Amino acid sequence: MPFITTKDGTEIFYKDWGTGQPVVFSHGWPLNADAWDPQARLVADHGFRAIAHDRRGHGRSGQPWNGNDLDTYADDLAQLIETLDLRDVILVGHSTGGGEVTRYIGRHGTGRVAKAVLLGAIPPLMLKTDANPEGLPVEVFDEIRAGVAADRSQFYRDLSQNFYGANRPGSKVSQGTHDSFWMWSMQVGIKGAYDCIKAFSESDLTEDLGRFDIPTLIAHGDDDQIVPFVASAAKSSELVKDATFKVYPGAPHGLAEVAPYNEVFNADLLAFISS
């Protein structure tokens, strides 16, 4: 399996499919690169090179004690891009992965980047503060920390309901989708999973969004129960200059894996990266 080794010695797993302009996918918490498989296959089938990595602490990558923060995640992404000598890259990030992409641009610029896609992404800030009253109170994230620490297996089983909107009337989310979510989640080391909660909830990415100078697609479901639409995409679309803004009515956080929303998103993704 292909890996790169970061400056602190952490091995980062990645998959590399197809040829052409590179599309680099960053996954959400607490999943891994496999969550992007349908989209990676889609873009590779259409003449792009699809690359998706497991964030440190997740999946097949190393599980270091330190570095489970957005700055390091972004630096790991930068090292992947530089090691593979990728240029004219299209960055695609979901949820925490969207924060990773945003912090990458904030720290490393867009010299190697052609476009960006933020799907159900955490920017600019998930935590409720005086300056961000639309965010979620810290008690919400404390409950997530408690769930991971006490019985992460059951916590992840419960979380998949909200993640995919399976708790909504008429939902047709399959048991297989829930099983995949649980399987991927259980591959995350508890230290990395626990630390990442602070990273995705308390990182203020407002200034990073202001550094975007490339075509950007911001997409979000308006029934996202994980990353509140009003505190994220609605604000990010105003902070990123000339962003293309797509709202999917009724769609959950994990819309890229749930029909019929995934079909609409896939079409929008392909149209955006091909334009």
- Residues taking part in catalysis: 95, 224, 253
DSSP string, 126-193: -B-BTTBTTSB-HHHHHHHHHHHHHHHHHHHHHHHHHHTTTTSTT----HHHHHHHHHHHTTS-HHHH
Between CA 150 and CA 19 the distance in angstroms is 44
Side by side, the strands of the sheet bearing 244-248 are 3-5, 11-17, 48-53, 21-26, 89-94, 113-119, 216-221, 244-248
Q: CB-based contacts of 161: which residues, under 8 Å, 6+ apart?
A: 167, 178
What is the rounded distance in angstroms from the CA atom of residue 32 to the CA atom of residue 56?
A: 10
Q: Count other Cβ atoms within 10 Å, centred on residue 75.
A: 19
In this structure, are strands 3-5 and 11-17 parallel, antiparallel, or unpaired? antiparallel
Q: What is the largest CA-CA distance in the chain?
A: 48
Pairing of strands 216-221, 244-248: parallel
Residue corresponding to tokens 């602070």 = 198
